[in-house]
């Protein structure tokens, strides 16, 4: 399963792959004409015994992130990986986590989790 989220107000694009082989992820992302280099077929490999992996593609596709899940994620795993993506995004836009930026982080996390769970539900339905 592939889910793509393009945030309407931020320089943010999230590619989510669930149960997709690393070579297929590379193939899909290598089709993007704006990339600075191609991804080897084994670049997107979840470490053994892990359920997911997050990738910040700022060196090749600025503003793009990937979450790779080995299977449909549990809520805790989804929240964990989304937090990594949100933290990396806010570093990318130079907005550190502070008391005044906390609401932005919380909004982004809830926005992504809602979109991802909605897309997973559509594919299951």
pLDDT in tens, 52-64: 999 999 888 889 9
Mean pLDDT of the 34-58 span: 86
Overall number of domains in the chain: 1
H-state helical runs in the chain: 22-30, 75-92, 102-124
Looking only at the bridges linking them, the beta strands covering 52-56 and 13-18 are: unpaired
Least reliable range by pLDDT among 32-46, 61-75, 108-122: 32-46
Spell out the residues 6+ positions from residue 43 whose beta carbon is closer than 8 angstroms to its own.
22, 25, 26
Q: pLDDT value at position 125?
A: 63
Q: pLDDT value at position 15?
A: 96
CB 13 within 8 A of CB 60: no
Q: Give the predicted TM-score (pTM) of the model.
A: 0.89
* Distance from C-alpha of 43 to C-alpha of 45, rounded to nearest angstrom: 6
Residues of the domain holding 111: 2-124
């Amino acid at each position: 399963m592939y889910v793509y989220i393009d945030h309407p107000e931020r320089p943010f694009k999230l590619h989510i792959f669930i149960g997709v082989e690393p070579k297929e992820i590379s193939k899909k992302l290598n089709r993007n004409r704006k990339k600075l280099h191609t991804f080897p077929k084994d670049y997107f490999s979840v470490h053994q015994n892990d359920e997911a992996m997050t990738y910040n593609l700022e060196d090749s596709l600025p503003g793009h992130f990937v979450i790779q899940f080995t299977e449909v994620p549990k809520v805790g795993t989804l929240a964990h990986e989304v937090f990594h993506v949100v933290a990396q995004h806010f570093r990318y836009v130079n907005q550190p986590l502070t008391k005044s930026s906390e609401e932005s982080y919380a909004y982004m996390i809830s926005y992504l989790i809602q979109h991802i769970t909605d897309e997973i539900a559509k594919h299951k339905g």
